[in-house]
């Protein structure tokens, strides 16, 4: 099995991906900065669980520390790099925009430089459904223009896609960018909606419901997401000899071994229905503060996952009833 170097292994998605790959016999080397954007103890708990497997090792460091990142990666000699570490959070980008420039632009550049030096067999990097920005034609597919980002977070992720495409073209690095759609599940981030809903409900507090509940999201269970990434690892893009030969469904670049892939459940779920499933899983009603739309937010997201399916034969398919129940069960056990 290939050795995989993952940035962000103490994070929500990185933890689940490392766990998934280890269960399939991969050797995984992690790199994470343990920043205090949210509960560091939760991050350390995730790493501690991974370190119980002898095929996992990790180094703590920031992406901006190029020397340490490079040293760690060169020592690991990975076949594949999966870059998940980033300054996350759509709304936080309104409060602390500089952290997005430092982590998502400078940090991603450093990862690409390491991938170039190592000539890795496949570089996979996280983008976001937020790059679709002001688009209104849904479901979103990878060939749509993404020129209207509504937040700096989305803009940095779109910049990452452009940066990665140029490196794929210049240095022939097979590169896959995946666009995530509202990921949720056990060991999730405390700033994500489901975590906030459950925490508030169990404390007897009301939750804030934006745009008066008139919102929809393509909620994607984290187990489906990391399975998708594992399968995509084995699908490195190959430069097309003739762009005319690229299948109609494919998002492959005509000038580089580069592809974008949506990873979403393919289901546009109303926010109020998602909250209703949370109430069912908890067994209690949730009080709601109906609020106006937040700055930079979008009314709906919805993924076309045909590229993922044609490459891997898999589509995310976990119903929100199961996914939400799994999260609630974890939350109650973790926080006792």
pLDDT at position 39 is 85
Q: What are 141's two structure tokens?
A: 């597919």
49/27 Cα distance (integer angstroms): 15
Tell me if 103 sits within 8 A of 8, measured CB to CB: no
pLDDT at position 231 is 98
Which parts of the chain have pLDDT scores under 70? 89-94
pLDDT at position 237 is 98
pLDDT at position 333 is 96
157/87 Cα distance (integer angstroms): 10
98/80 Cα distance (integer angstroms): 29
3-state DSSP assignment of residue 235: coil
pLDDT tens digits along 63-90: 999 999 999 999 999 999 999 998 776 6
Whether the pTM exceeds 0.85: the reply is yes
Could you give the strand order of the β-sheet that contains 258-263, starting from the edge strand earlier in sequence? 56-60, 27-32, 3-7, 80-83, 122-128, 175-180, 258-263
pLDDT at position 297 is 84
pLDDT at position 7 is 97
- Mind giving me the DSSP string for 53-82? STTEEEEE--TT-HHHHHHHHHHH--SEEE
- Catalytic positions are 153
pLDDT at position 296 is 78
Domains of the chain, each with CATH number or no CATH: 3-184+219-265+304-317 (3.40.50.720)
pLDDT at position 92 is 64
């Amino acid at each position: 099995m290939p050795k995989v170097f993952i940035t962000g292994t103490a994070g929500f998605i990185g933890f689940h991906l490392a766990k998934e790959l280890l269960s399939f016999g991969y050797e995984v080397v992690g790199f994470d900065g343990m920043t205090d954007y949210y509960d560091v103890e939760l991050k350390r708990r995730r790493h501690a669980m991974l370190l119980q497997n002898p095929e996992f090792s990790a180094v703590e460091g920031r992406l901006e520390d190029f020397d340490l990142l490079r040293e760690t990666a060169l020592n690991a000699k990975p076949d594949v790099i999966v870059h998940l570490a980033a300054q996350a959070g759509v709304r936080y980008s309104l409060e602390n925009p500089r952290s997005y420039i430092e982590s998502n632009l400078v940090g991603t550049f450093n990862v690409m430089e390491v991938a170039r030096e190592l000539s890795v067999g496949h570089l996979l990097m996280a983008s976001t459904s937020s790059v679709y920005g002001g688009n209104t034609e849904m479901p979103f597919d990878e060939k749509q223009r993404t020129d209207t980002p509504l937040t700096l977070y989305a803009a940095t992720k779109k910049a990452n896609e452009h940066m990665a495409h140029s490196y794929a073209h210049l240095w022939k690095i097979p590169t896959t960018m995946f666009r995530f759609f509202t990921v949720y599940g056990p060991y999730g981030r405390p700033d994500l909606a489901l975590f906030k809903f459950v925490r508030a409900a169990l404390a007897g507090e009301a939750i804030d419901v934006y745009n008066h509940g008139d919102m929809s999201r393509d909620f994607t269970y984290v187990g489906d997401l990391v399975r998708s990434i594992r399968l995509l690892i084995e699908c490195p893009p190959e430069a097309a000899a003739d762009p005319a030969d690229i299948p109609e469904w494919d998002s492959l670049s005509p000038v580089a071994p580069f592809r974008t892939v949506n990873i979403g459940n393919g289901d546009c779920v109303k926010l109020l229905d998602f909250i209703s499933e949370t109430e069912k899983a908890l067994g209690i009603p949730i009080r709601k503060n109906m609020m106006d739309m937040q700055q930079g937010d979008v009314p709906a997201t919805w993924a076309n996952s045909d590229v993922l399916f044609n490459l891997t034969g898999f589509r995310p398919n976990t119903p929100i009833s199961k996914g939400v129940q799994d999260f609630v069960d974890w939350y109650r056990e973790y926080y006792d």
